[in-house]
């Protein structure tokens, strides 16, 4: 299967724009371990998903966050991730918070759920003639597992298949999205890690890149012991 053109054009550049920083972990520094900040990369990748899906909603749905992503709840501004309706049915609003990591601790989970519920209630009050559905959108998995559904029984979880079922006319299928994740997406994201270039695949790509630039690469021959 070929990599979908829309995904490559829209999603790959966002992943390429991720800026890798070094870790600030004192626990690693005291052992003189200098490594990429995995947390920073993952946070930025979370922003990539949010940007990508809002682009999709702007092009193939009615994205209600075109003019900003803030909403007033009890007099305070709250930032929200996704709010849209399908082009075929503007009477149903979908409010999602994008989450790639649902392993919240016991304190964060209720607070996050409460925020989603309060925002959803505000949206309902502002749009009484419409139905509002809300929940967490996990933008990088195809289907939500039964284990996740059981763990988060107090709030609806949506996977990519759920969202694609809402929209019509998309330029990619669920199969093409999954194929992208396992090929182009994986390759692009993987290269953000410095240790990629320490693998056999990474070294070979570096050699091929340098040779394409006109450099001659020679391998050091091991000297025989006498």
pLDDT surpasses 90 at 12:
yes
Given a contact cutoff of 8 angstroms between Cβ atoms, the answer to whether 49 and 98 are in contact is yes
Return the higher-pLDDT residue of 23 and 136: 136
Alpha-carbon Rg for the chain in angstroms: 22
pLDDT surpasses 80 at 146:
yes
Lowest mean pLDDT: which of 15-19, 104-108, 210-214? 104-108
Lowest mean pLDDT: which of 15-29, 42-56, 87-101, 147-161? 15-29
Q: Please provide the average confidence, as pLDDT, over all residues in the chain.
A: 85
- Taking the model in full, what pTM does it have? 0.81
pLDDT recorded at residue 36: 52
Across the beta sheet with 157-158, what order do the strands follow? Answer: 62-63, 82-85, 92-98, 131-137, 157-158
How do residues 39-57 score in pLDDT, each as one tens digit? 777 888 999 999 999 999 9
pLDDT bin (cut points 50, 70, 90) of residue 25 is low
Return the higher-pLDDT residue of 93 and 23: 93
User: What does the alpha-carbon distance between residue 22 and residue 40 come to, in Å, rounded to a whole number?
Assistant: 9
SS (H, E, C) 30-80: CCCCCCECHHHHHHHHHHHHHHHHHHHHHHHCEECCCCCCEEEECCEEEEC
Question: Would you call 11 exposed, middle or buried from its count of C-beta atoms within 10 A (0-12, 13-18, 19+)?
Answer: buried
pLDDT surpasses 70 at 224:
no
SS (H, E, C) the chain: CCCCHHHHHHCHHHHHCCCCCECCCHHHHCCCCCCECHHHHHHHHHHHHHHHHHHHHHHHCEECCCCCCEEEECCEEEECCEEEECCCCCCEEEEEEECCCCCCCCCHHHHHHHHHHHHHHHHHHHCCCCEEEEEEECCCCCCCCHHHHHHCCCCCEECHHHHHHHCCCCCCCHHHHHHHHHHHHHHHHHCCCHHHHHCHHHHHHHHHHHHHCCCCCCCCCCCCCC
């Amino acid at each position: 299967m070929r990599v979908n053109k829309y995904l490559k054009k829209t999603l790959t550049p966002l992943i390429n724009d991720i800026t890798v920083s070094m870790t600030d972990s004192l626990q690693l520094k005291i052992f003189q371990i200098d490594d990429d900040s995995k947390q920073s990369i993952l946070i930025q990748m979370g922003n990539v998903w949010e940007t990508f899906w809002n682009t999709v909603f702007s092009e193939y749905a009615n994205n209600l966050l075109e003019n900003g992503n803030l909403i007033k709840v009890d007099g305070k501004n709250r930032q929200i991730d996704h709010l849209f309706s399908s082009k075929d049915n503007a009477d149903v609003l979908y409010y999602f918070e994008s989450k790639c990591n649902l392993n919240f601790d016991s304190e964060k989970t209720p607070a996050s759920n409460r925020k989603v519920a309060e925002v959803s209630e505000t949206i309902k009050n502002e749009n009484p003639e419409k139905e509002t559905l809300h929940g967490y959108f996990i933008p990088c998995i195809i289907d939500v597992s039964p284990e996740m559904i059981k763990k988060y029984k107090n709030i609806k979880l949506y996977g990519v298949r759920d969202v694609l079922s809402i929209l019509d006319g998309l330029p990619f299928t669920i199969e093409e999205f999954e194929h992208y994740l396992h090929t182009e997406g994986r390759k692009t994201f993987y290269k953000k890690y410095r240790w990629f270039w320490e693998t056999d695949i990474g070294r070979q790509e570096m050699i091929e890149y340098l040779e394409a630039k006109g450099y001659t690469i020679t391998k050091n021959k091991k000297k025989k012991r006498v």
